[in-house]
Amino acid sequence: MSPTPMPSLTGGMSFDNMMCSRCGEGFEPHEKIVNSTGELWHQQCFVCAQCFRPFKDGVFYEFENRKYCEHDFQVLFAPCCGKCGQFVIGRVIKAMNANWHPACFRCEMCGGELADSGFIRNAGRALCHECNAKVKAVGLGKYVCHKCHGLIDDQPLKFRGEVYHPYHFNCTACGVELDSSAREVRSRPGFANNDMNELYCLRCHDKMGIPICGACRRPIEERVVTALGKHWHVEHFVCAKCEKPFFGHRHYEKKGLAYCETHYHQLFGNLCFVCNQVIAGDVFTALNKAWCVHHFACSMCDQKMNQKTKFYEFDLKPACKKCYEKLPIEFRRRLRRQHEAVPKKMVPA
């Protein structure tokens, strides 16, 4: 319902046989009369049918032959938007069991407006056609082509961060139709369109002599790391244990894999149980663990111990004799039964 501008005021005319549409009374000579769609009103009678106040700025809304100010019309008749909660005046989108402003009715995945493009209801959500296709593809374990939005039944072609049917592209060098083995190469001086990446078939790409990353199998356009008999992107050359990139830091090789210093020594060397650092000097072993000399201490009082100190195992950690004997007798008996009541000496490596 659109607002109606204030009707004209008429004065100086004879309305002897005319009556006010609201109060039914006649008009005085030379009285200013409101003329709205052929009906006449006293000025004081031309008011909102709900609050009986004059129309602000002369704007009113008409419904079933009754006139309302904007506020009362919204309260009585205008629907509320399902997103912003405001009254919807003008075009109303009715969808998903609610009313919406056209600008408020959007795809719940990408945020694109749906008022004119249409939508699909998916698991209680309003989605655009493209996002619905992506959701459907995920459910089927497939990709959606970024160009035609169709499902990709075979291996996709990845280009500029998106996936496509390979047949949408041709090799930049020889023009052959591409397949999923095509390689994306950053344009260089002397090549066409050197402001964007390009696609090459595998044969043409191999002729260019560009190294391939041993992890992602994609071309390496910038800095190359050579290790383990392969080439790597800097960010793809990682520790086989924690998978953190080395970024130029030292790595250790073992059985065809690369490890950071910490995990190499953890797996194949000695790390102190307390500081978790590589033990550079003498190594003490106790309770099936390795310790720095200055870190082997009672877990209860923190008193330093050496190879001559008598200790007991408590909660898989060493406890000196003095602290151990402070424990309740019944508790110590239970520990003896569990650990066979044999004191253990610290043995130097």
Read off the pLDDT of residues 161-196 as tens digits, 9 standing for 90 and up: 888 999 999 998 899 999 988 888 876 544 444 456
Report d(CA 49, CA 329) in Å as an integer.
92
| pLDDT, the chain, mean | 81
- The mean per-residue pLDDT over the stretch 268-272 comes to 77
The more confident residue out of 287 and 243 is 243
Residues 6+ apart with CB under 8 A from 85: none
- The mean per-residue pLDDT over the stretch 117-144 comes to 83
Above 80 in pLDDT, residue 146?
Answer: yes
pTM over the 0.75 mark: no
Is residue 324 classed as helix, strand or coil in its secondary structure? helix
Cα 61 from chain centre = 44
**Quick one: CA torsion of 224, 227, 229, 235, rounded to 10 degrees?**
-50
Residues 6+ apart with CB under 8 A from 261: 250, 252, 278
- The mean per-residue pLDDT over the stretch 40-65 comes to 84
Report d(CA 107, CA 126) in Å as an integer.
6
**Quick one: CA torsion of 31, 36, 42, 45, rounded to 10 degrees?**
-160
Residue 21, exposed/middle/buried by CB under 10 A (0-12, 13-18, 19+)?
A: middle
Report d(CA 232, CA 209) in Å as an integer.
15
CB atoms within 10 A of CB 234: 15
Report the percentage of the chain scoring pLDDT > 70.
89
Residues 6+ apart with CB under 8 A from 248: 234
Is residue 200 classed as helix, strand or coil in its secondary structure? strand
Report d(CA 35, CA 345) in Å as an integer.
111
Which residue shows structure tokens 């080395």?
Answer: 246
The model's pLDDT over 95-120, given as tens digits with 9 standing for 90+, comes to 888 889 999 999 988 888 998 888 98
The more confident residue out of 218 and 168 is 168
Above 50 in pLDDT, residue 347?
Answer: no
Residues 6+ apart with CB under 8 A from 173: 200, 201, 204
- The mean per-residue pLDDT over the stretch 280-301 comes to 82
Is residue 322 classed as helix, strand or coil in its secondary structure? helix
Query: Residue type for 108, please?
Result: E
